[in-house]
Amino acid sequence: MLTDNFNRIIDYLRISVTDRCNLSCKYCVNENFQYLSHDEILTYEEIIRFVHIAAQLGVTKVRLTGGEPLVRKRIPYLLKELTAIQGIHDISLTTNGVFLAEKIVELKEAGLKRINISLDSLKRERFHYITGSDTLHLVLRGIDEAIRAGLKPVKINTVIIKGFNDDEIFDFAKLAYEKDIHIRFIEFMPFGDSTLWDSSRIIPSTVIESLLKTQYILEPTINRYNGPAKMFAMHGSSGKIGFISPLSTHICSECNRIRLTSQGMIRPCLFSEEEYDVKNLLRNNSDDEVIKTFIHHAVKAKPEKKLETGFIKKCQRSMRHIGG
């Protein structure tokens, strides 16, 4: 079993398979962003070997992220290989949804069971502005195709920004209610364009929750995936509303994850700049036991909680490099 210094069991691995993306979302990419070279990115064989080793240490859940994972070739192959690893019981993927409709059949055939789609506006012009791409219609089609393919649950991750898209909160709730999917409202985090982010634009989850309760009966429910979201069932629908509150509340005590960046760095905490280079060990064909010891060391460096200094610091790396 993989545990940190604060007795948290680490059984969830988020893997960024690429820093490439077909969109340029303003809060994701910072002004100094540069793509990694091809040789800097982990190969599929290196990812598969790392997951084999992590599974022996007790990791049971894997999520593929990016960048945009669907821009990397042969993602179904990687999904199929990871699904076959003994001990891995849950494989999921986070996508912006633009290519989802055209790839949904092969993804499901490869073993994908559920999916998260990042979507921050249901208004065409606003979506175009924040992503740099007039492709909202493709994302909405991808959501429908995921539902039709039987992926459960289909989750929509929505970052709410004060004065930007907070007028769409009820629109997203209606989408969850009518399509029986999960909408998860996420507090605005300090990544990407420094001119866009400041703490005054954060809307605490409790504010959104109170607002939604004026129109919907929300009933607390268990998050069966043991993630950071506080979940609510919607009376009269199979849809659910979730709240992820990394800034207004301390969800750190329940954190069960580490990240593997596309560059081959283990990142114990999203909000820390600490990273550990496991790619060097993988490429030097280090023994499995050496890599296991290295993973244990990285996990022990996981801080007890974020924001140790008492204030919110603008993160220096893009979410494309870290992995969403």
Q: Are 6 and 313 in contact (CB under 8 A)?
A: no
Which pLDDT score is estimated for 99? 98
Report the alpha-carbon distance of residue 26 to residue 157 in Å, rounded.
16
Report the alpha-carbon distance of residue 304 to residue 35 in Å, rounded.
31
> Which three-class secondary structure state does DSSP give residue 50?
helix
User: Model-level pTM?
Assistant: 0.90
Q: Are 203 and 168 in contact (CB under 8 A)?
A: no
pLDDT-based confidence at residue 15 (cuts at 50, 70, 90): very high
> Which three-class secondary structure state does DSSP give residue 174?
helix
| DSSP class of 6 | T
Tell me the pLDDT tens digit for each residue of 87-105: 999 999 999 999 999 999 9
Which pLDDT score is estimated for 25? 82
CA distances to 71, 98, 114, 258 from 17, rounded to whole Å, are: 10, 17, 18, 15
| Residue 7 located in a structural domain | no
CA 312, chain centre distance (Å): 20
Residues of the domain holding 119: 12-322
> Cβ–Cβ contacts within 10 Å for residue 257, how many?
20
| Residue 128 located in a structural domain | yes
| Residue 111 located in a structural domain | yes
Tell me the pLDDT tens digit for each residue of 187-223: 886 554 545 556 777 899 999 999 999 999 999 998 7
| Residue 2 located in a structural domain | no
CA distances to 111, 187, 248, 287, 299 from 3, rounded to whole Å, are: 28, 27, 26, 21, 7
| Residue 3 located in a structural domain | no
Main-chain dihedrals φ then ψ at residue 230, nearest 5 degrees: -90, 115
* Residues belonging to the chain: 324
Overall average pLDDT of the 298-319 stretch:
64
The proportion of the chain whose per-residue pLDDT surpasses 70, expressed as a percent, equals 86
Nearest to 15 by CA among 59, 37, 47, 60: 47
* Whether residue 270 has pLDDT greater than 50: yes
DSSP characters over 107-123:
HHHTT--EEEEE---SS
| Residue 304 located in a structural domain | yes
* Whether residue 17 has pLDDT greater than 60: yes
Q: Residue 281 sits in a domain of what CATH number?
A: 3.20.20.70
Report the alpha-carbon distance of residue 218 to residue 275 in Å, rounded.
39
Report the alpha-carbon distance of residue 3 to residue 21 in Å, rounded.
33
Which pLDDT score is estimated for 211? 97
pLDDT-based confidence at residue 309 (cuts at 50, 70, 90): very low
CA distances to 73, 106, 199, 252 from 244, rounded to whole Å, are: 31, 30, 16, 12
Overall average pLDDT of the 107-125 stretch:
96
Report the alpha-carbon distance of residue 77 to residue 83 in Å, rounded.
10
Q: Number of folded domains in the chain? A: 1
| Residue 227 located in a structural domain | yes
| DSSP class of 168 | G
For β-strands 90-95 and 114-118, DSSP reports them as parallel
Exposed (0-12), middle (13-18) or buried (19+): which is 254, by Cβ within 10 Å?
exposed
More confident residue, 320 or 211: 211
Mean pLDDT, the chain, rounded, equals 89
> 279-314: b or e for each residue (b if 16 or more CB lie within 10 Å)?
bebbeeeeeeeebeebbeebbebbbeebeeeeebee
| Residue 229 located in a structural domain | yes
pLDDT-based confidence at residue 126 (cuts at 50, 70, 90): very high
Report the alpha-carbon distance of residue 136 to residue 313 in Å, rounded.
32
